[in-house]
Structure 1
Amino acid sequence: MTTLVKSNGLGRQGLFPEFPDFFDDLFTKDLFHPAGKLSGVLPAVNVKDTEQNFILEVAVPGMDKKDFKVEFKKNMLVISARKENQSEEKDKEGKYVRKEFGYQSFTRSFTLPEDMVDGDNISANYKDGILNVTIPKKEREKTRSKEIEIG
């Protein structure tokens, strides 16, 4: 007895459509070049909204702080990174058995509320695989209460 599953034409494609992407990746990707899997992947970003700041936490392990570029123009924050890796293996005679080059890059853009952020005081730091970008909010004018006389 078999179970038939109706397809709407939008289903998964691949060697094992009933299993997660892991199986397709395992059996169809080059297992000897795991860095290739990283290309084209955008890092995960957490965005916190505190009383005084917006804080972005970008998960980018394996990078150095020199690999990043953070720019703010008008109301757009652009975070980009680029890293080149090289690995090689030699046999006993010093001849190459395998030599691989890896390249990672990404660009993420965030539109910020123009009237709410202090673009001149944005700061960033990179520690333990997390890029933290702190975007201070502009101080809001304190609202004054004024009684209006009714005439």
Structure 2
Amino acid sequence: MSTLVKTHFANPKLYNGFFGKEALNEFFAPAYAGSIPAVNVVESKEGFRIEVAAPGLQKSDFKLNLEKNQLTISAQKEQKEEETTEKYSRREFRYGSFQRTFNLPNSVNGEKIAATYADGILNIELPKREEAKEKPLREIEIA
């Protein structure tokens, strides 16, 4: 979600000259760009799959919780940068996080939910309960 912010600097050239436009954008930007990653939800005969686009994160940054048919996906990332030269030392700490909660249908078998993370995509497999799976057409004989 983008937010438009109108600023009223007394002398914008002073701020842009001192910080530079790129430096201001970088300073005020969140550590995890976009803060809420894009999500795809796919349904098949066997279940559902949630794909979360979250490049730059590690498997250990994620946390998945299931409570009362609500699946919560969250991640927290801490970035540290340090630059030291003869005359100065600069340190920057950035924290980024997001959280999404999905209300799961009763057809999902919560005991068999599995997740993997590879190539910047978190894949969560949500298998359907056997009784909820679509059955093939069956002709019923009349006696």
TM-score tier, shorter chain, comes to 0.7 to 0.9
Which residues in structure 2 correspond to 1:83-98 (within 5 Å)? 83-92=77-86, 95-96=88-89, 98=90
Answer yes or no: is 1:140 the counterpart of 2:131. yes
- Which residue is equivalent to 1:49? 43
Gaps of 5+ in 2: 8-19
Cα pair 1:40 1:106 within 8 Å, conserved: no
Aligned residues: 124
Which region of structure 1 is more displaced relative to structure 2, 31-40 or 135-144?
A: 31-40
Match of 1:78 among 72, 86, 94: 72
Cα distance change on mapping 1:90 and 1:29 into 2, 3 Å = closer
Cα distance change on mapping 1:35 and 1:88 into 2, 3 Å = farther
Cα pair 1:89 1:99 within 8 Å, conserved: yes
What is the TM-score with the length of structure 2 in the denominator? 0.73
CA distance in 1, matches of 2:128, 2:93: 42
Cα distance change on mapping 1:118 and 1:88 into 2, 3 Å = same
Deviations 1:90-109 (A, max 9, x none): 1135x40x211010111100
CA distance in 1, matches of 2:77, 2:31: 14
Match of 1:99 among 79, 84, 91: 91
Q: Report the 3-state secondary structure (helix = DSSP H, G, I; strand = E; otherwise coil) of the residue aligned with 2:30.
A: helix
- Which residue is equivalent to 1:62? 56
Deviations 1:72-114 (A, max 9, x none): 1221111111111100111135x40x21101011110000111
Gaps of 5+ in 1: 1-11, 16-25
- Which residue is equivalent to 2:13? none
Cα distance change on mapping 1:48 and 1:28 into 2, 3 Å = same
- Which residue is equivalent to 1:9? none
Letter in 1 for 2:94: G
RMSD between superposed Cα atoms in Å: 2.9
What is the TM-score with the length of structure 1 in the denominator? 0.69
Q: How big is the shift at 1:51?
A: 1.0
